[in-house]
Amino acid sequence: MTNHPSSGASVPADLRLSGTPNFRDLGGMRTSDGRAIKAGQLLRTEGPLYLTLEDIDKLHGLNIQLVCDLRSEGERAAAPNAWCDGRAIDLLHFEGSADLRAAGNDAWEALRANPSATGARRAMLHNYRSMPWVMTPHLRIMFHKLMEDRKVPVLIHCTAGKDRTGFVVGILLKALGVSHQAIIDDYLASTPHIDHRFAGSIIEAFQETFGFTPNEDTVATMIGLDQDYLEAAFASAAEEAGSIDGYLEHNLGLSPERREQLRAVFLD
């Protein structure tokens, strides 16, 4: 089931990045108690490969203190965050998260047996369900940096800015008290910005691992967004921890008191 948000997240013209259109500021998102995320404090985007010089100037003007890079070592080597060089920016690499579509994991091996759009969707669901557990140790570090070290503004990204970024941003928004529907709407707001630029890595992985080129439907499934994917990640966290609140508290160390501490950082 693929749904689309009723209204996509808007970015002021002076903050749009021409080379990375899947960039946005989550300032203004409302929480259940009526507060709002402060402008310019929580940013999400795709990877840095297509950043222009003008884009880099805009990023430098945002006073970003922490960049959470969710990509694998290979992805970082191919497109490093060179725009951070020489600046007092804390780069947090989610080591071990790697690319959850990487050859060798269970989902990828299942895709080998069924390289169709149906098989690709199963692989995506499998990977999203793995995200809460693969990401846990890195999320704990991230929350420490945000609260104890006050490393804000923060920029969170992977390669396309949709899957890994969608989950990590979603968990952060859950901790802040943003409604489930608003989180889903923000996740799906990336839909217009996912295009052929992100198909190449999927095609290359198929060719290197399986020796053939996947069909268009399979590629489209793997680079697309689906509400069911993010729902699967949240469901996996809730099933193992008893609830999302249980996951936040027991797995990520976010007691109610620490969640209030987090809200003091981000909310008006």
Residue 10 confidence (pLDDT): 52
Q: Which two tokens stand for residue 33?
A: 């108690």
Name the pTM for this structure: 0.92
All residue ranges of the chain with pLDDT < 50 are 1-9, 99, 101, 103
Count CB atoms within 10 A of the CB of residue 30.
14
pLDDT reported for residue 121: 93
Residue 115's SS3 state is coil
Residue of 43, 248, 42 whose CA lies nearest to 140: 248
Chain segment 180-206, per-residue pLDDT in tens: 999 999 999 999 999 888 888 788 878
Distance CA 262, CA 135 (A): 19
Strands 24-25 and 154-157, by their bridges, are: unpaired
- Report the Cα 210 to chain-centroid distance in Å: 27
- What is the C-alpha separation between 267 and 41, in angstroms, rounded? 9
Tokens of 108: 């990828």
What the chain holds in terms of domains, given with CATH numbers, is: 13-266 (3.90.190.10)
Please report where in the chains the tokens 């998260």 appear, as a residue.
Answer: 97
CA nearest to 22, candidates 159, 127, 139: 159
Q: How many CA atoms lie within 13 A of 9 on its CB side?
A: 27
Distance of alpha carbon 87 from alpha carbon 134, whole angstroms: 29
Residues paired with 55 in a beta bridge: none
Q: How many CA atoms lie within 13 A of 56 on its CB side?
A: 12
| The pLDDT value given to residue 2 | 40
pLDDT at 5: 37
In this predicted structure, what is the pLDDT of residue 4?
Answer: 36
In the chain, which ranges are E strands? 24-25, 42-45, 66-69, 90-93, 154-157
Q: What is the helix (H) or strand (E) element at residue 229, kind and residue range?
A: helix 227-241
